[in-house]
Amino acid sequence: MLFASWTGTAHNLRVLQDHGWSLLMSPDTLRRCKGKTAPRWPDGSPAPYALDNGAWGCHQQGRDFDGDAFGHTVDSIGAGASWVVVPDIVGGGLQSLSLSRRWLPRIDHPLKLIAVQDGMSIADVDPLMGPGRGLFLGGSTEWKIRTMAMWGRYARRIGAYYHVGRVNTVRRIRMAMCAGAHSVDGTSATRWSANVPRLTSTTAQTCIFDRGSSWS
């Protein structure tokens, strides 16, 4: 499944809709779309979406994570999201995992994704996994590429949902598919609608890896 960040450009949204994409919302995108309700396509129909916590946007802007904004976003549109990413610290290692652990009881959603960051091991993350938990592969690009397959094998072994963040090229989509990811997100399709057909066509290809038929 392909996710793209929400955009205010109606043409780009129509192209994403026509090619079967979903949207990745966050506190920032909810603010920019000037609404307290779930996103819609330009034709007014509901858009499928998932909910990120906004930590990446705060990191890019040099700000501390805004827990209040995230809480407001969960209250506003969390119920309709396919999944919610538990708050994390970009590149924060075990400190990020500690933050996620504190937030887990505060998020009422049937599928919560734990963000894995540079320096984390399966042994670190495993105590937080269980029914209704999945993995969101974040971290630096180098670490993500090096560990993508490892986290995919782990997710498959425990029957967990697996998402790879910041995937903007055909090559990276292929890597994520072969690692067993159920979904990816990126901004390339959001910014340049001409990329959407090419990126979409990648998912129709097959991969040697068989991730199995379901997750739980």
The distance of Cα 126 from the centroid of its chain, to the nearest Å, equals: 19
Two tokens, residue 144 = 């993500």
Closest CA to 1 of 134, 109, 142, 154: 134
pLDDT tens-place string over residues 155-186: 999 999 999 998 888 889 999 999 999 999 98
Q: Is residue 48 one of the residues assigned to a domain?
A: yes
For residue 187, what pLDDT is reported?
A: 84
Is the Cβ–Cβ distance between 84 and 107 less than 8 Å?
yes
Give me the domain span that covers residue 191: 2-202
Two tokens, residue 49 = 């979406």
Q: Is residue 152 one of the residues assigned to a domain?
A: yes
For residue 206, what pLDDT is reported?
A: 67
Q: Is residue 8 one of the residues assigned to a domain?
A: yes
Residue 185: its H or E element: strand 183-186
Residue 48: its H or E element: none
pLDDT tens-place string over residues 24-82: 999 888 887 766 688 999 999 999 999 999 887 767 777 787 888 999 999 999 999 99
* Candidate from 27-36, 47-56, 99-108, 194-203 with smallest mean pLDDT: 27-36
Residues 6+ apart with CB under 8 A from 96: 88, 89, 90, 115, 117, 120
Residue 172: its H or E element: helix 170-178
Mean pLDDT, the chain, rounded, equals: 89
Q: Is residue 73 one of the residues assigned to a domain?
A: yes
Span 72-101, average pLDDT: 92
* pLDDT reading at 216 higher than 50: no
For residue 214, what pLDDT is reported?
A: 38
Is the Cβ–Cβ distance between 131 and 143 less than 8 Å?
no
Q: Is residue 178 one of the residues assigned to a domain?
A: yes
Sign for the pseudo-dihedral over CA of 28, 23, 196, 215 = positive
Number of domains in the chain: 1
* pLDDT reading at 113 higher than 80: yes
Two tokens, residue 111 = 């599928």
Q: CA dihedral in degrees (144, 22, 4, 66; nearest 10)?
A: -80
Q: Is residue 214 one of the residues assigned to a domain?
A: no
Query: Tokens 């924060």 map to which residue?
Result: 92
Helix, strand or coil, per DSSP, at residue 25? strand
Higher pLDDT, 12 or 90: 12
CATH (domain of 190): 3.20.20.105
Q: Is residue 211 one of the residues assigned to a domain?
A: no
d(CA 181, CA 206) in angstroms, rounded, equals 13
Q: How many C-beta atoms surround the C-beta of residue 113 within 10 A?
A: 28
Q: Is residue 150 one of the residues assigned to a domain?
A: yes
